[in-house]
Amino acid sequence: MPDRELDLQAYFDRIGYRAAVAANAAVLQQLHWLHVSSIPFENLDVLLGRPILLDTPALAAKLVAARRGGYCFEQNGLFLAVLRAIGFTAEAFAARVWWARQDASVPPRSHMLLRVDCPDGSYLCDVGFGGLTPVQPLSWRMEIEQPTSHETYRLVTDAVPGELALQARLEEKWATVYSFLPQPAAPADFEVANWYVSTHPGSFFTEAIIATRPFTDGRHVLQDRKVTVRARDRSEQTTTLTGPADLRATLLESYSLALGQADLDVLWARLAPKSGSETA
């Protein structure tokens, strides 16, 4: 991902960053929060049948210029390019997603996270894990609880030999979010994983619409027709979309996503209840 292919000022304008630029932890913290709160996690192009491209110009065109969101490979791919352009030393790692998994078998590596080096140490950065996206960088240190304004996390040794795991404390219990080998992955690994999650009929991203975005007081989550506003204490209020106009309003108000009518019609057709199922 050559740095020359990225307009840093356009990115800063996109997320509202207006401070000085330096490769240190304070800047990393600000960029991380502004990114996750400005650029929503979403998979709408997958449901619209569009390819997910991971080169820097394509990521900047979609997430910056077109003011869209994306999923992990897009979000963390763009953030990696930004950090390297600023002068950070950063690497991408491939993770197995355990969160919300019902199958006990070992899952494939289908997620991207970053390790970013700063003068005061290394950090785990992840701006693309949907409803559990950390809202700030996490210190790359083992077995310490790391509270954020939303959830509390920790890095531990995973049950899979040689891997580390990121865990989140939810309802006073630790849940494994994902696990990964502590060594960088090659871009080709992410190209293969991206192709799988965006095209395989068994992939969650080809089966359901998902959009999430954190706010200072909690998170908004859209999964198919279910709209959830989750407070920081994880209490929830849920409603159900009733039609394309409702979908349009939700995407615009909660995620700042302005889609054309043709795209909304295609997406709503994916969400419409099938014959014999319940209606809204």
126 an active-site residue? yes
Pull the structure tokens for residue 267: 């997406």
Q: Distance (Å, rounded) from C-alpha 175 to C-alpha 132? A: 11
Cβ neighbours of residue 102 closer than 8 Å, sequence gap 6 or more: none
C-alpha angle 3-9-11 in degrees, rounded to nearest 5: 80
72 an active-site residue? yes
The residue type at 27: V
Q: Distance (Å, rounded) from C-alpha 4 to C-alpha 26? A: 24
Catalytic residue among 111, 125, 150, 220: 111
Summary count for the chain: helices (H), strands (E): 9, 13
CA 215 to chain centre: 14
Catalytic residue among 126, 150, 158, 220: 126
220 an active-site residue? no
Catalytic residue among 35, 45, 72, 158: 72
Neighbour order of strands in the sheet with 218-223 = 41-42, 210-215, 218-223, 226-231, 236-240
Q: At what angle do helices 25-38 and 72-86 cross, to 10 degrees?
A: 150
User: Which residues are tagged catalytic?
Assistant: 72, 111, 126
